[in-house]
Structure 1
Amino acid sequence: MKFTDRFLQSIKPPEKEYCIREGHGFTLRVLPSGVKTFQYIYTLNGKRHRLNLGQYPKVSLAEAREKFREAALLVGKGVNPQAEPVVAKEEAPFTVADLVEQYKKFTEQHRAASTSRETVRTLDKYVLPAWSHRRVSDIRRRDAIDLIDPIAAETPGQARGVMKIARAMFNFALERELADFNPFTRLPAAVPSIKPVSTSRTLSDAEIKFVWKLLHSANAPGTPETRRALLLVLVTAQRPGEVTGMTWDEIDGNWWTIPPERIKTRNHRQEAHRVFLSPLALRLIGENPNYSSYVFPGPSLVAPLQRHALSHMVCDERDGGRPTGDGKKTEEMKEYFGLPRWTPHDLRRTTATKLSELGCPDEIIDAILNHAKQGVIGVYNRNKYDKEKKEWLTKWARHLEKLVSEKVS
């Protein structure tokens, strides 16, 4: 029946409680005391519910109907009108510290161990102290310039490295919709001193002989580990970070197998890389002293020599008298050993160039350098060229030994 005010006013107190239904769950409950209460009776998720809408006439019939309609709409959406209202919690701000934490985990999973370590070191030393509690969305281009400028004033190379890692982190954030833009994009235009330098440097024969003899001299710069690692880059043509991270377990006879997790290009190919170790390379590696799992251990012995230790040894200008770690002291020396600017990675490029001059085919050089094959060849040609690696790295080692035995010009 359809409720009206006239009908509701005519209802007398009953001897016992009863309910009158208008329809669709809209109900009037009448008590012996004469109290009349509007109710909405509904079923949700298989369970019967009763919602009080107010007492008549304190709550009018029109008001009760409006409450009923609102509740019925919620039930139609699967929402219980009697449930506690959910108070939306304000989201905690996404800070640079949060982004750094996520990016560290990403690099640990998807980058070579040496790259991951350098990323963690750089972010902890330069980015977190400046921006730890700031929102990622608040970091602007001006902030990036203010971060890089003071570093560039002292060491442009270090500033360039910080910029590259921070830029990569913000690209990571962009790809995951954690940031709206990258404040480090095209930053060298604002800080000219961090513009990339030429990467075409190769050492001449005279420079190779000079570096080789210097690092074998009585007062050679650096520690024995850094010297041997640097020369092994030249002998094997492998990346400096892969050389410094070498473990004794990776060496089996004349072969060094670099596992995928230590290879810079492991995102593209989950494959180990085999490097032939010539007698010259094995002499640089030496015998296992059994006090570290690393061929070139760092000061703690439980971690490898850091890749940047090689760069530091090359570019540092020494006044003399500095301990080398083997009981000797360095002599006064200009940065880059007094040669035109060069880096440890230039030794890898030098070896590739010299192999080409010796007649080594480009395809074999790429195999030695562990460059990915391009296009269809990369899919179908699975030859690892071990025989050819052995042949040409042996030829290079013999050529190098002959070269360095000659008088430095």
Structure 2
Amino acid sequence: MTKRISSDATLKALKPRDKEYLIPDKKIEGLNIRVRPTGTMTWTFRFQMGRKHEKISMGRYLQSNSKAGMTLDQARKEAGRYRSWLENNKNPKVELARERREQEEAKTFNDAFVSFDEKRLSKQLRGEQSRIIYNRDIKPHIGGIKLADLSIYDLNKVFDAKVDKDGKRMAGAIGVCHKIINQVINHALALNMLDTHPAPQLKAKDVGGGSKVTKRNLSFAELKILLTSLNEWRTDPANIRLIRFLLGCGQRISAVLEMRWSELDFDEGIWLLPASSEDRHTKSQESRKVPLSDYLLELLTEQRKSVPSKWSLVWPQLMDDKVQEPAAVRALIKRNLPADFERFSPHDLRRTFISRCSEIGLDIVAIEKTVGHQLPGMLRVYNHHDYLEEQLSVLQAWGNKLQSLTVENVIPLSRSLPF
């Protein structure tokens, strides 16, 4: 009599042979365990539709830990579904394919985002920012909508919600949302979670998105007003030092806000700015040295006194050793600027650094190296000089200029004054 599976003990007693063999289940007709010469054991369901014999592979049984694979009870329950379909003259293979198709069609936009996050976003340098924007601005509107039902009408709900207090569309925010939505949809298309893009021709500018490249930079007259009024700002002194430092170093705000004390060498006057990583968004593929002028060293020395010695960040949040958001610095500037002073962003201070250093005749190559820009054309290929001394000269001259602008009663001498 052919041996049949009666219990889990039967399965655990099976041994591999020179050739693959099948043992049928005692309870469910068509259910078998397949044992390979390697010892691998797989549940299969064999059935006949008309004259055609077919087979469905169901899952593995693990002798060492049966609960980790498909157990006997689970296999019998699944095979029982297949027998029910057969009794109703339905092909189990066809019905399984239909189930899978319905499950895929039932996936929501949020399911697609979770997959995108796991496989791609988590590996991007600024993935956390996109994740925050998705959860705040996109998920509430379309996260629960089935991918198969997603339409341009649904997408517009996201874009229409991005308006300021005056009802004006926020171009930058819309542009970012449009980018994230497109990335998720393209990911879903690549994995066959979605058949077609609901709005393949839709551009960010069509829904009020897109950001304009600003040319805002502060003139020397504006710098004097700013620098002489900083002490009157309603904020902690550390934030005033931060504004001065941003203006004095010319680096990106993300690099400054994420600066660690461990990156600073006060004796050598060097800031070792690391390459971009998951927690350091410097936009540089390699680490680089940034010389520190007397102006910058004085600010850092003062800042060191106000930050707890155990904290790692140079410009942390006021009550916690966590990175400040650039948005908080933008809000600080907006809140304290005089009404007749044209608004500027932290990045405009970087543009100001480059523009005003050029205006006072400092070496343009040294300026570009100071801010971390790549040299143009063949200079990038052949010129590997680090320009450290030249960078220090730029930063020292710029710091002296800022220091002179900080003094309210400094009046430039006119060449026409009589002796």
TM-score by length of 2: 0.64
Decide which of 225, 228, 238 is 2:241's aligned counterpart: 228
Distance of 2:49 and 2:159 partners within structure 1: 62
Shift of 1:69: 6.8
Shift of 1:245: 1.5
Decide which of 344, 347, 371 is 1:345's aligned counterpart: 347
Q: CA separation of 1:167/1:395 partners in 2, compared to 1, >3 Å: closer, same or farther?
A: same
Shift of 1:154: 2.1
Distance of 2:234 and 2:158 partners within structure 1: 32
- Shifted more, 288-297 versus 148-157: the winner is 148-157
Q: Which residue of 2 aligns with 1:246?
A: 259
The question of whether the paired residues in 1 share the 8 Å contact of 2:162 and 2:169 is answered with yes
TM-score by length of 1: 0.66
The question of whether the paired residues in 2 share the 8 Å contact of 1:297 and 1:304 is answered with yes
Q: Which residue of 1 aligns with 2:227?
A: 212
Shift of 1:151: 2.9
Q: CA offsets, 1:227-271, max 9 Å, x none?
A: 2222211100111121112111121222112222223424xx2x1
Identity of aligned residues (%): 22
Shift of 1:390: 1.2
Decide which of 204, 216, 222 is 1:187's aligned counterpart: 204
Of the two structures, which has the highest relative contact order with CA contacts closer than 8 Å and spacing of 6 or more? 1
Q: Which residue of 2 aligns with 1:399?
A: 401
Q: Which residue of 1 aligns with 2:64?
A: none
Q: Which residue of 2 aligns with 1:296?
A: 315
Decide which of 284, 300, 306 is 2:325's aligned counterpart: 306
Distance of 1:400 and 1:168 partners within structure 2: 39
Q: CA separation of 1:352/1:124 partners in 2, compared to 1, >3 Å: closer, same or farther?
A: same
Q: Which residue of 1 aligns with 2:380?
A: 378
* Residues 6-405 of structure 1: pairs in structure 2 closer than 5 A: 46-47=19-20, 70-71=52-53, 86=93, 87-88=96-97, 89-90=99-100, 91-92=103-104, 93-102=106-115, 104=117, 106-111=120-125, 115-136=126-147, 138-154=149-165, 159-173=170-184, 176=187, 177=190, 180-181=196-197, 185-191=202-208, 196-217=211-232, 220-253=233-266, 254-260=269-275, 261=277, 262-266=280-284, 269=285, 271-285=286-300, 286=302, 287=304, 289=307, 290-316=309-335, 338-374=340-376, 376-405=378-407
Shift of 1:216: 2.1
The question of whether the paired residues in 1 share the 8 Å contact of 2:216 and 2:344 is answered with yes
- Shifted more, 226-235 versus 154-163: the winner is 154-163
Distance of 2:202 and 2:244 partners within structure 1: 36
- Paired residue type of 1:275: V
- Paired residue type of 1:273: R
Q: Which residue of 1 aligns with 2:63?
A: none
The question of whether the paired residues in 2 share the 8 Å contact of 1:226 and 1:309 is answered with no
Gaps of 5+ in 1: 1-44, 53-65, 317-332
Distance of 1:339 and 1:203 partners within structure 2: 10
Shift of 1:206: 1.5
Q: Which residue of 2 aligns with 1:55?
A: none
Q: Which residue of 2 aligns with 1:329?
A: none
The question of whether the paired residues in 2 share the 8 Å contact of 1:244 and 1:296 is answered with yes
Q: CA separation of 1:388/1:222 partners in 2, compared to 1, >3 Å: closer, same or farther?
A: same
Distance of 2:380 and 2:167 partners within structure 1: 37
Distance of 1:336 and 1:149 partners within structure 2: 32
Distance of 1:118 and 1:158 partners within structure 2: 21
- Which one has a bigger Cα radius of gyration? 1
The question of whether the paired residues in 2 share the 8 Å contact of 1:314 and 1:336 is answered with no
The question of whether the paired residues in 2 share the 8 Å contact of 1:209 and 1:404 is answered with yes
Q: Specify the SS of the correspondent of 1:246.
A: coil
- Shifted more, 100-109 versus 159-168: the winner is 100-109
Let me know the Cα RMSD of the aligned residues.
Answer: 3.9
Shift of 1:295: 1.0
Gaps of 5+ in 2: 1-17, 30-47, 58-78, 83-91, 412-419
Equivalenced residue count is 322
Distance of 2:50 and 2:160 partners within structure 1: 66
Distance of 1:156 and 1:365 partners within structure 2: 41
- Shifted more, 297-306 versus 341-350: the winner is 297-306
Shift of 1:377: 4.2
Q: CA separation of 1:311/1:164 partners in 2, compared to 1, >3 Å: closer, same or farther?
A: same
Shift of 1:50: 12
The question of whether the paired residues in 2 share the 8 Å contact of 1:249 and 1:293 is answered with yes
Distance of 1:102 and 1:301 partners within structure 2: 33
Distance of 2:198 and 2:288 partners within structure 1: 34
Shift of 1:138: 4.2
The question of whether the paired residues in 1 share the 8 Å contact of 2:160 and 2:169 is answered with no
Distance of 1:309 and 1:68 partners within structure 2: 71
